[in-house]
Structure 1
Amino acid sequence: MFRFEHTYLLSILVLVPVLVGFYLAVLRWKSKTAAIIGDKDLVQVLTRNYSPTRYFWKFFVAISALVFLVLAAANPQTKGEGGKVNRKGLDLMILMDVSKSMLAQDIKPNRLERSKQLVSLLIDQLSDNRIGLVWFAGRAYLQMPLTTDVSAAKMYLQNAGPDAVPTQGTVIGEALKMASNSFNSKEKKYKAVILISDGEDHDPEALKIVKDLAASGVMINTVGVGSPQGATIFDPATNDTKRDANGNTVITRLNELQLRELAQTGNGTYVLLQDPSAAVRTLQAQLATIEQKELQDDAFVQYNTWYFYVLAMVLVLLLLEIYLPERKPMPV
């Protein structure tokens, strides 16, 4: 398999048509200048050693050197032997609620931070699987498609919070739809979802989507974060507790009933998040009941790099451009 390691550098090639346009503009300028002089015989005498063909070839060689230089910087690579690592695992989508209600501190330090601790442990303990991440509040956003890249998952997790999803609410149904779209629709197994939320806003659409997911072979597991007694929400934007339109303090409560119903319908398990390590063990045991498939992990593929050959071509072209004369020899 051929690839470029730094594909973003290929965007520099947009300079090529710009330089071609500049070259054509210079040719037009030369033609207009010759026309201004007026006397064709005089122009021929003045430019008798000018060669349009040689001028073109010097430009062509120079622009080719630029193209090869960009290709060298992008580092062309081919896949090496024995680099692919095969492993058995699942396709697992982790859906995490990042709404402001997750800032409630009925579990310490707050619901969101405890959820992030859980997700971090899940990423570590389930690294043999392909993992995808969805953050949701009033809308759902795919943060990371299914991958075996653990370091990327940890990076996305660090930035999880209410600011990642500006619209507030708890659209569990939309998050489940996004997870569904991330799976291979042709497979009827090897797939699971872990939904982490306080379930505060009842989403009637969520149960229907879970039924559809279960019918397509996806196991739905849910994790409840918070307490049924509830707590106030500290709003960092106002540095005060969150209040409704009438000025009353908002109390957010864990909706265990909805989360249990979703897990039961989705052939999974419900876990109340208290100790993240214990929750991970319970979820691992549940996921172990799903048949696993062979996953091809490209994260450890070794690539052969070829930029130095392309760079050698650049050097040859630059030397050729230097020694290629623009003018033809004067007649003796």
Structure 2
Amino acid sequence: MNWNYPFGTTEFVFSLLFVGAYAAFFVRTIRVARRLKTTTRSLIIKLFIRTIAFVLLLISLLGPSFGEAERDLQSQGKDIYLLVDLSKSMDANDVSPTRLEKVKFEINHFLDAMANNRIGLIVFSNEAYTQSPLTYDRAAMNLYVQSLQTDLLPGSGTNLCSSLELAYLKVSQDEAAADKSKIMVLFTDAEKKADCSASLFNNFRRFGIRLFVIGVGTPEGSFIRTQNSVLKDEDGESVISKLQEDVIKNLVQQTQGQGYRIDNKQNELSSVIHDINSIEGQVIDRRRVTVASNKYYYFLIIALGLLVLDLLITVRTFRL
């Protein structure tokens, strides 16, 4: 028999106090009975029941485990590329504090929920670059995510196709990912239409690459704050950046992917995590382990039964 919880100082002190108090009660009762010249034979019944109940309660408190059984445990993993838009429009604050800062915050939650998966990071504006290859190293990934800024890359446009092409190239050339589920999670405000080649979309469908597009922002949009004022166009007009829902819908349709939203009122990241978890991954670890279950309730039930019996049995300590 194994014990899940050690017999510590707290248990020892309370047990000692209980035994001492009950011993004092028992001795006092015997002394009074002798003075009155009566028998204490019936008191032994109560002592016997309560002692057994106390021992059983103590055993259940320690969490006895026995009856070990073997179980098969397996861990499944997927390859996931995060594609993050670093165009200047991601500095818009229609999502607090800004679209990009909100994305970085949500990615941290995403990483925590995907501990068994390899995750890579691709950033893009006019061109796409690999910020981190597929890795299990969460600490390194968190550092990469926190370093993301809209001025990290040259240019300020939004080229969705460049990020998709680079991600496809990475997963198609990775021999270690040949049998794994291939997933891409795209964070963007989709300000520019994705005029990708038909072959790229066909490859997504052909090789079963799952694309999850997360639109960040609102259709109403907002100004893009700079250090001193707001961003203006060539005509001196303030630029208003808006989430282009039609672009996202078209991209989802072409790749047979799924679309989601993140803004101040709606956050569907939990749905993304749920949908990704529902995808079957490759078994990356399988082992047979011995499991010992906590059987405290057997002892607890018997102890409670004895206590109920103790209440039901009426004995006279003194017979006058």
Q: Given the alignment, which residue of 241, 244, 263 partners 2:233?
A: 244
What does residue 295 of structure 1 align with?
284
SS in 1 for 2:151: helix
Question: What letter is aligned with 1:213?
Answer: F
* Superposed displacement of residue 191, structure 1: 0.6
- Once the two structures are superposed, residues 21-65 of structure 1 have per-residue CA deviations (whole angstroms, 9 ceiling, x without a partner) of xxxxxxxxxxxxxxxxxxxxxxxxxxxxxxxxxxxxxxxxxxxxx
Do structure 1's residue 228 and structure 2's residue 216 form an aligned pair? Answer: no
What does residue 194 of structure 2 align with?
203
1:2-13 map, 5 Å = none
Alpha carbons 1:118, 1:277 under 8 Å: kept: no
SS in 1 for 2:112: helix
Mapped to 2, the partners of 1:91 and 1:129 lie a distance apart of 6
Mapped to 1, the partners of 2:140 and 2:196 lie a distance apart of 31
Question: What letter is aligned with 2:190?
Answer: G
1:245-324 map, 5 Å = 245-274=234-263, 278-295=267-284
SS in 2 for 1:164: coil
In structure 2, relative to structure 1, the CA distance for the partners of 1:155 and 1:270 (3 Å cut) is same
What does residue 102 of structure 2 align with?
114
Alpha carbons 1:222, 1:260 under 8 Å: kept: no
Question: What letter is aligned with 2:119?
Answer: I
What does residue 86 of structure 2 align with?
98
Do structure 1's residue 160 and structure 2's residue 148 form an aligned pair? Answer: yes
* Superposed displacement of residue 209, structure 1: 2.5
SS in 2 for 1:151: helix
Q: Which moved more, 1:211-220 or 1:90-99?
A: 211-220
What does residue 164 of structure 2 align with?
176
Alpha carbons 2:96, 2:264 under 8 Å: kept: no
Alpha carbons 1:189, 1:217 under 8 Å: kept: no
Q: Which moved more, 1:283-292 or 1:253-262?
A: 283-292
In structure 2, relative to structure 1, the CA distance for the partners of 1:276 and 1:190 (3 Å cut) is farther
Alpha carbons 1:224, 1:270 under 8 Å: kept: yes
Alpha carbons 2:194, 2:251 under 8 Å: kept: no
SS in 1 for 2:97: coil
Q: Which moved more, 1:129-138 or 1:254-263?
A: 254-263
In structure 2, stretches of 5+ residues that fail to align are: 1-73, 286-320
In structure 2, relative to structure 1, the CA distance for the partners of 1:293 and 1:150 (3 Å cut) is same
- Once the two structures are superposed, residues 146-178 of structure 1 have per-residue CA deviations (whole angstroms, 9 ceiling, x without a partner) of 111111110001110112112210111010111
Question: What letter is aligned with 2:282?
Answer: K
In structure 2, relative to structure 1, the CA distance for the partners of 1:281 and 1:114 (3 Å cut) is same
Count residues in correspondence: 210
What does residue 194 of structure 1 align with?
185
Question: What letter is aligned with 2:91?
Answer: L
Question: What letter is aligned with 1:107?
Answer: V
What is the percent sequence identity of the aligned residues?
A: 30
Q: Given the alignment, which residue of 115, 136, 155 partners 2:124?
A: 136
Mapped to 1, the partners of 2:265 and 2:114 lie a distance apart of 14
Alpha carbons 1:210, 1:220 under 8 Å: kept: no
Q: Which moved more, 1:184-193 or 1:168-177?
A: 184-193
SS in 2 for 1:143: strand
* Superposed displacement of residue 213, structure 1: 1.7
Mapped to 2, the partners of 1:266 and 1:215 lie a distance apart of 10
Larger radius of gyration: 2
* Superposed displacement of residue 258, structure 1: 1.3
Runs of 4+ in structure 1 deviating by more than 6 angstroms, as ranges, are: none
Q: Which moved more, 1:271-280 or 1:260-269?
A: 271-280
* Superposed displacement of residue 207, structure 1: 6.7
Mapped to 2, the partners of 1:191 and 1:147 lie a distance apart of 14
Q: Given the alignment, which residue of 126, 145, 148 partners 2:133?
A: 145
Mapped to 2, the partners of 1:168 and 1:231 lie a distance apart of 17
Question: What letter is aligned with 1:288?
Answer: N
* Superposed displacement of residue 210, structure 1: 3.3
Q: TM-score, normalised by structure 1?
A: 0.59
Mapped to 2, the partners of 1:190 and 1:277 lie a distance apart of 28
- Once the two structures are superposed, residues 235-256 of structure 1 have per-residue CA deviations (whole angstroms, 9 ceiling, x without a partner) of 23xx210011111111111011
